[in-house]
Amino acid sequence: GAVVSQHPSWVICKSGTSVKIECRSLDFQATTMFWYRQFPKQSLMLMATSNEGSKATYEQGVEKDKFLINHASLTLSTLTVTSAHPEDSSFYICSAPRHSGETQYFGPGTRLLVL
Amino acid sequence: AQSVTQLDSQVPVFEEAPVELRCNYSSSVSVYLFWYVQYPNQGLQLLLKYLSGSTLVESINGFEAEFNKSQTSFHLRKPSVHISDTAEYFCAVGARGNTPLVFGKGTRLSVIA
């Protein structure tokens, strides 16, 4: 069946570095993908909507210059956390809707730890 | 816009006892409703969903949820829980179309032997 993958699954980095997270739809095309963030013991919060061929739309309070999103193809969206700081440590999850939202495929998530 | 309220943050229950995890939502448009389960340090797994039709939906591992439009609820139930059901459960709502989901804050189900 349809699957969404994320890479890497784990990343540990030093404060000030940039981290790129990839989200791929493996056997279907996704013109839209969503990026969520989950802090420990909290729920998932939508960060941004990634649109193939156009700019991403960001939720209120999410800095677009810090969380760069590129949706360069119909199967790949990337989230780059620029100049990461410890407060950016979180679980980042992407998803891709299909069948007009009847199905939402979630990636396995990327756990980011910024030291 | 949609919102989801999960009334219980934690639910402890003894093994083989029944459980109900409550979920209420609000929306000005027709929505799809979902329950996801998250085990420690893992991603989300879809448990079940309501799209249309029969208001009672079931999962393969014994969970069921009933969509109640008048009460705007989508409570999750299981008649007999197992230790392996211990996890975080998230109720989510999405408007029809390629829109993101809005999640509740989650309910931690702890099954006690």
Q: What is the pLDDT of residues B49-92, one digit of tens each?
A: 999 999 999 998 899 999 999 999 999 999 999 999 999 999 99
pLDDT digits (tens, 9 = 90+) for B98-113: 899 999 999 999 999 9
* CB-based contact A97 B98, cutoff 8 Å: yes
Please give the C-alpha separations between residue A40 and each of A98, B55, B105, in angstroms, as whole numbers.
28, 33, 12
Question: Any CB–CB contact under 8 A between A57 and chain B?
Answer: no
User: Is it the case that residue A105 has pLDDT exceeding 80?
Assistant: yes
Find out whether B36 and B42 touch, Cβ atoms under 8 Å.
no
User: Is it the case that residue B96 has pLDDT exceeding 90?
Assistant: no
Q: How far is A42 from chain B (nearest CA, A)?
A: 6
Q: Long-range pairs for A71-74 at CB < 8 Å and ≥24 separation? A: A71/A33, A74/A25, A74/A29, A74/A30, A74/A31
Mean pLDDT score of chain A: 94
pLDDT digits (tens, 9 = 90+) for B30-54: 899 999 999 988 889 999 999 999 9
Question: Any CB–CB contact under 8 A between B104 and chain A?
Answer: yes
Chain A residues with beta carbon closer than 8 angstroms to that of B96? 100-101
Of all residues in chain A, the percent with pLDDT exceeding 90 is 85
> What's the pLDDT at A1?
60
At A102, is the pLDDT very low, low, confident or very high (cuts 50, 70, 90)? Answer: confident
* CB-based contact B105 A32, cutoff 8 Å: no
Chain A residues with beta carbon closer than 8 angstroms to that of B102? 46
Q: How far is A109 from chain B (nearest CA, A)?
A: 6
Give residue A100's region: left, alpha or beta (phi > 0; psi -120 to 50).
left
Closest Cβ opposite residue A49 in set B32, B49, B100? B100
How many Cβ atoms are within 10 Å of B85's Cβ, its own excluded? 19
* CB-based contact A46 B95, cutoff 8 Å: no
Closest Cβ opposite residue A93 in set B32, B44, B104? B44
At A101, is the pLDDT very low, low, confident or very high (cuts 50, 70, 90)? Answer: confident
Q: How far is A17 from chain B (nearest CA, A)?
A: 24
Question: Any CB–CB contact under 8 A between B3 and chain A?
Answer: no
Find out whether B61 and A64 touch, Cβ atoms under 8 Å.
no
Average of per-residue pLDDT across A103-114: 94
Pairing status of strand B87-95 against strand B102-103:
antiparallel
